[in-house]
Structure 1
Amino acid sequence: MGLLGILLALALLIGMAYRGWSVLLLAPAAALVAAGVAGEPVLAHWTQTFMPAAAGFLAQFFPIFLLGALFGKLMDDSGSVRAISAFMAEKMGPRHAILAVVLAGAFVTYGGVSLFVAFFVLAPMAHSLFKAANIPNHLMPAAIVLGTSTFTMSALPGTPSIQNAIPMPFFGTTPFAAPGLGVIASLIMMGFGMWWLGRAEAGARRAGVGYEEVSAATHEKAADDALVRERAVASHEFDPQEMGHGKRSAELPAVWAAALPLVVVVAVNLVMSFWVLPRMDVAFLQEPQWGQTTLAGVGGVWSVVVALAVAIVLVIVLNWSRLTNLRDSMDAGANASALPALSVASLVGFGGVVAALPAFAMVKAWVLGIEGGPLVSLAVSTNVLAALTGSASGGLTIALEALGSTYMQLAYELGIDPSLIHRVAVIGAGTLDSLPHNGAVVTLLAVCGSTHRKSYFDIVVVGIIGPILALVAVIVLGTAFGSF
């Protein structure tokens, strides 16, 4: 009965989330269904299992949600993201329209700008370039996905994405875990995605299919769509409804001033990870009042938080005259982090209840028994959970809350570098999360004025198949040569 309860709970969570119901309601309801069918104490699981798991996630990662959303909002309202997009469009032109969109998305998201902020800025840019080049609109979402939601989210070393931060407390790693393998994975995702999009563009030209006009306000309407919002907040770290709050500057900064904060995020992250934190005396962390933890358990999060905080200050200094309503912009950025953080935390609470049920032992045994060793089983478990929840961050956290300590023990016994496990877990979570019910997919299609029927196949190729190929390559190379 316990296994049946888990399956019923998953069916409830997936089915109702796809219909637009809030995860804040669905996650505890599904958890109680799983506990009730298993004959476990329902109320005790809600208050003593679900809530500590959800609260633990918030305690670890809310600073990244908060500062990441705030940084993204300030970069948007200051005109910095638009300045970078305009620079890419001007320098590369319609002849390289797809590459311009991909590179603009990659640059801003690798520098710490929220995925959803990038969507709302890149869509108008892509419409302009695709129209000038007469490239079919249906390729726009895939181009944006390739630049924002693949290698800069899960593979490039140092990326400040929440997905790259989640494994750090579990494995004692840094944002730069397995940098060589991360770069190789990024090249595979980028190269495969560009090959596919170039092939699709050429095929459309041969068939005489070109750009079709859409409403200029499509992306603005998407920000106010209630269904889009409900699906979006559970998959990434920015509430799209806050896009319209604050005041966007009509004047754009110089491109160097727009790009500098993004460079600072990566640079400060690097310096904190490898020079500042390792030289700090953190023996006090062993005391009960600090959670009896270690630098390995908190250092990765500290690095990302400091990097984002420094970049936020720099954005404000460089754009003081353009941020004419700074308080409203900062309020909107802070508010944009709250609902996504709570939604993902609720998914983690659901996973905590499922992992506490006696029947989960069978699921755990099945996962660990997958042929190919711990790297393969970890990749499969993060893939499956990200697919079921429609959230890379939610699926990854559920997997690591349930099995993270087990994989660390296996790594110790088998001599596997935790950095390798980190990179496999993150890339694994960033593959099947892009199923049709994923909030980022739903949001992007609405922002671009497209539909699943028109654009989803290309999203699958660049957002799922490409990352899976990269994941396979990382597992093969990691197994043969270890982490590098």
Structure 2
Amino acid sequence: MGLLGILVALGLLIWLAYRGWSVLLLAPAAAVLAAGLAGEPLLAHWTQTFMGSAARFIMQFFPIFLLGGLFGKLMEDSGSVTAIANFMTLRLGPQRAVLAVVLAGALVTYGGVSLFVAFFVLAPMAHALFRTAAIPKRLMPAAIALGTSTFTMSALPGTPAIQNAIPMPFFGTTPFAAPGLGVIASVIMLGFGLWWLARAEAKARSKGEGYGEDDAPGAAAEHAAEDLTVRERATTSGSFDPAEIKHGDQSVGGPPIGLAVLPLIIVVGVNLLMSLFILPRLDASYLADEAWGGTSLAAVGGVWAVVTALFAAIVVLIAVNYRRLPTLRATMDAGANASALPVLSVASLVGFGSVVAALPAFAMVRDWVLGIEGGPLVSLAVATNVLASLTGSASGGLTIALEALGDAYMKVAAQQGIDPALMHRVAVIGAGTLDSLPHNGAVVTLLAVCGSTHRESYFDIVMVAIVGAILGLVAVIALGTAFGSF
């Protein structure tokens, strides 16, 4: 009955979330239902297991959500993201419209801008480019997804995406875990995605297919920002609340490209310095005291590196763009508010996962997952893939998997001599593959922002965001098994 209860609760959570119900309500309700069907104490699981796990997630990762939301909103309202997009457009031109959209998205998201902020800026740019180049607008969502939601989210070493931060406390790793493997996976994802989009574009041209019906630039994005269903789904899979996009005033003129890119460089540079040079030299033995939570630098150092990098970039961003931020307080308020609902939504999913993991029947699930043929790297990839696909959230599925199985994987890694950095990279890339199923919040938001539908554009999203990511994941597992982490 316990296993049936887990399946029923998970099924209801997925079905109702897909229909637009708030995860803040669904996750505790599903957790209590699973506990009740297993004959476990309901209130204890809600207030102790569920809330304890959700609170730990917020304690660990809210600083990244907060500063990430603030940084993304400041980059948008200062005109920096638009300046970068326009620069790419000018340099590459309509003849390389797909490449311009992909590279613009990759640059801003690797530099720390939330992919949801990037969606709303890149979509109008992509409309103009694709219209001029006579490329079908149905390919726009796939081009944006390739640049914002694949290799810069899960594979490139040092990415400040929340997905890359989640494994750090579990494995004691940094954002630059397994850098060589991450770069190889990134090349595979980008190369395959560009090949597929070039093939699709050429096929469309051979059939005489043009841009399609003309759209008013920004109209779909404006509607998406006000869509409550889009908001509910987006906040379970990202770190930025789309409803805050329209709050605050944007700069009339953006900064020069050098100043626009500077904060992104600072994010990557400071992250690298903190992770590899500064933090390893600190005496952080005091963290073992109960006053500091009885933790270690290995458990918190990765988060510290990302938080410091985002904070430094925010200070520089405000300093060089102060006159381009007409309502600085409103912009900062919107950025801070944009982080609240996403962190609570993901934390609720984590709380649900913790209740499920605490039920006696979960032992069967754990044993099955750990016993998957192919070794711990394959089983970890399967676990993160399945949970990310079910929840429609890479961050939610990844955290649930590691909350339930992280300790077990660390023991296996120690026994078999597997570098935790390799486990980190496999887990993150694994969570970023099947999360892009039709109910994923980022997919729903992207289609809405582009004014497209699943029927028109989803197949191409599958190819660049799922198939390409799976190819990268397979390569990392094969190379990691043969040569270890590098």
Tell me which residue corresponds to 2:417.
415
Tell me which residue corresponds to 2:162.
162
Q: Structure 2: which amino acid aligns with 1:361?
A: A
SS of equivalent to 1:122: helix
Tell me which residue corresponds to 1:432.
434
Structure 2: unaligned runs, 5 residues or longer: none
Tell me which residue corresponds to 1:133.
133
SS of equivalent to 1:63: helix
Tell me which residue corresponds to 1:198.
198
1:242 aligns with 2:244: yes
| CA offsets 1:227-283 (integer angstroms, 9 cap, x no match) | 110111010000000000011001110000000000100000000011111111111
1:348 aligns with 2:367: no
Deviation at 1:457, TM superposition (A): 0.3
Tell me which residue corresponds to 1:105.
105
Matches within 5 A, 1:37-48: 37-48=37-48
SS of equivalent to 1:320: helix
Tell me which residue corresponds to 2:467.
465
* Distance across 2 between alignment mates of 1:240 and 1:201: 30
* Distance across 2 between alignment mates of 1:278 and 1:348: 30
1:443 aligns with 2:427: no
* Distance across 2 between alignment mates of 1:280 and 1:7: 46
SS of equivalent to 1:244: coil
1:336 aligns with 2:341: no
Matches within 5 A, 1:110-125: 110-125=110-125
Structure 1: unaligned runs, 5 residues or longer: none
| Percent identical | 74
* Distance across 2 between alignment mates of 1:247 and 1:337: 18
* Distance across 1 between alignment mates of 2:183 and 2:367: 33
Tell me which residue corresponds to 2:82.
82
Tell me which residue corresponds to 2:32.
32
Deviation at 1:75, TM superposition (A): 0.2
Q: Structure 1: which amino acid aligns with 2:158?
A: G
Matches within 5 A, 1:281-430: 281-430=283-432
Q: Structure 1: which amino acid aligns with 2:372?
A: I
* Distance across 2 between alignment mates of 1:286 and 1:222: 47
| CA offsets 1:433-471 (integer angstroms, 9 cap, x no match) | 000000000000000000000000000000000000100
* Distance across 2 between alignment mates of 1:184 and 1:302: 26
Q: Structure 1: which amino acid aligns with 2:405?
A: L
Tell me which residue corresponds to 2:225.
223
Tell me which residue corresponds to 2:3.
3
Tell me which residue corresponds to 1:93.
93
Deviation at 1:44, TM superposition (A): 0.9
Number of aligned residue pairs: give it.
Answer: 484
Deviation at 1:427, TM superposition (A): 0.1
Tell me which residue corresponds to 1:13.
13
Deviation at 1:93, TM superposition (A): 0.3
Q: Structure 2: which amino acid aligns with 1:211?
A: Y
* Distance across 2 between alignment mates of 1:478 and 1:283: 32
SS of equivalent to 1:319: helix
Deviation at 1:218, TM superposition (A): 1.2
* Distance across 2 between alignment mates of 1:409 and 1:400: 13
Tell me which residue corresponds to 1:59.
59
* Distance across 2 between alignment mates of 1:50 and 1:198: 47
Deviation at 1:324, TM superposition (A): 1.4
* Distance across 1 between alignment mates of 2:322 and 2:237: 32
Q: Structure 1: which amino acid aligns with 2:216?
A: S
* Distance across 1 between alignment mates of 2:247 and 2:180: 40
* Distance across 1 between alignment mates of 2:174 and 2:459: 34
Q: Structure 1: which amino acid aligns with 2:37?
A: V
Deviation at 1:288, TM superposition (A): 0.5
Q: What TM-score comes out, normalization by structure 2 length?
A: 0.99
* Distance across 2 between alignment mates of 1:19 and 1:418: 38
Q: What TM-score comes out, normalization by structure 1 length?
A: 1.00
Deviation at 1:215, TM superposition (A): 3.1
| CA offsets 1:391-427 (integer angstroms, 9 cap, x no match) | 0000000000000011011110000000000000000
* Distance across 2 between alignment mates of 1:343 and 1:477: 35
* Distance across 2 between alignment mates of 1:334 and 1:417: 36
Q: Over aligned residues, Cα RMSD in angstroms?
A: 0.5
Tell me which residue corresponds to 1:272.
274
SS of equivalent to 2:322: coil
* Distance across 2 between alignment mates of 1:267 and 1:237: 22
Matches within 5 A, 1:142-161: 142-161=142-161
Deviation at 1:43, TM superposition (A): 1.0
* Distance across 1 between alignment mates of 2:17 and 2:89: 37
* Distance across 1 between alignment mates of 2:210 and 2:453: 17
Q: Which contiguous aligned blocks of 4+ residues in structure 1 show a shift greater than 2 angstroms?
A: none
Deviation at 1:221, TM superposition (A): 1.1
